[in-house]
């Protein structure tokens, strides 16, 4: 049972680094979101559209986690937002120390919201705190409504669930009602947003949530400074 002890030690060390990161984020008034999903759920496209929609009103930055390639980072870079790529070289999740390294290349004072796009995986990333304020899980309607039942930990640790690719709903066997029921049974406090790839499709709630998160963050920083 050696591996269990090793894993516990790794998680404890990760949590310590994450706590330091969270303090640093809050002190800088930066609202930080850990964006999680299966491969291909549409996280990067959602981020591109989010950055385009908030324009200059909310200065966004992105840390991209990938097993291999800087493809997603290049997509984000073309929006003009600051982006740092972490390549995990085979590891299936980001860890706090990697985010800590990435911050060396990012100026926190010049951003309001930082999104950490995790490696596409519904299992291990759920266990690793990256110092974020909230975990947001993205599920697309093509993945099947049973994902909360099969990956309960992810839905347990997330505060927000984005149901993406709503435009494909007529073509797939997916009941939004049943999906929400399954997810809510695991986590009654989940906030849901429904989004789609086409412009004008339901980003408003998600954008408002990001803005109010940043506001709360700034207020917390100000209160602490008094």
Contacts with a copy of itself, residue ranges (CB under 8 A): 2-3, 6, 10, 38-40, 66-69, 71-72, 90-92, 119-124, 127, 140, 142-144, 146-147, 149-153, 165, 167-168, 171-173, 197
Q: Which is nearer to a copy of itself, 56 or 90 (CB)?
A: 90
- What is the rounded CA–CA span in Å between residue 97 and residue 114? 16
- Measured CA to CA in angstroms, residue 77 lies from 28, 35, 84 at distances of 23, 17, 9
- What is the rounded CA–CA span in Å between residue 169 and residue 167? 6
Give least dist CB 31 to a copy of itself, A: 27
Q: Which is nearer to a copy of itself, 137 or 160 (CB)?
A: 137
Q: Which is nearer to a copy of itself, 36 or 210 (CB)?
A: 36
Give least dist CB 118 to a copy of itself, A: 12
Q: Which is nearer to a copy of itself, 23 or 74 (CB)?
A: 74
Contact present, 116 and 34 (Cβ < 8 Å): yes
Torsion over CA of 162, 165, 167 and 170, rounded to 10 degrees? -100
β-partners of residue 193 are: 162
* Dihedral sign from CA coordinates of 102, 59, 194, 164: negative
Give least dist CB 89 to a copy of itself, A: 10
Give least dist CB 198 to a copy of itself, A: 11
Give least dist CB 216 to a copy of itself, A: 32
Q: Which two tokens stand for residue 59?
A: 């200065």
Q: Which is nearer to a copy of itself, 3 or 223 (CB)?
A: 3
């Amino acid at each position: 049972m050696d591996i269990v002890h090793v894993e516990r030690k790794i998680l404890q060390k990760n949590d310590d680094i994450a706590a330091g990161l969270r303090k640093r984020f809050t002190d800088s008034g930066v609202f930080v979101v850990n964006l999680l999903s299966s491969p291909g759920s549409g996280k990067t496209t959602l981020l591109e559209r989010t950055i385009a929609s908030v324009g200059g009103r909310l200065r966004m930055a992105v840390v991209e986690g990938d097993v291999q390639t800087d493809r997603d980072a290049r997509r984000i870079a073309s929006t003009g937002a600051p982006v740092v790529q972490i390549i995990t070289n085979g590891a299936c999740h980001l860890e706090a120390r990697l985010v800590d390294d990435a911050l060396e290349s990012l100026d926190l004072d010049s951003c309001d919201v930082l999104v950490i796009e995790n490696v596409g995986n519904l299992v291990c990333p759920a266990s690793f705190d990256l110092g974020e304020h909230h975990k947001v899980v993205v599920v697309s309607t093509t993945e099947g409504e049973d994902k909360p039942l099969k990956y309960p930990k992810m839905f347990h640790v997330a505060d927000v669930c984005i149901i993406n690719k709503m435009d494909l709903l007529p073509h797939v066997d997916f009941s939004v009602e049943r999906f929400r029921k399954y997810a809510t049974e695991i986590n009654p406090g989940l906030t849901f947003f429904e989004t789609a790839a086409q412009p004008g499709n339901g980003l408003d709630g998600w954008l408002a949530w990001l803005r109010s998160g940043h506001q709360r963050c700034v207020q917390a920083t100000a209160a602490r400074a008094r």
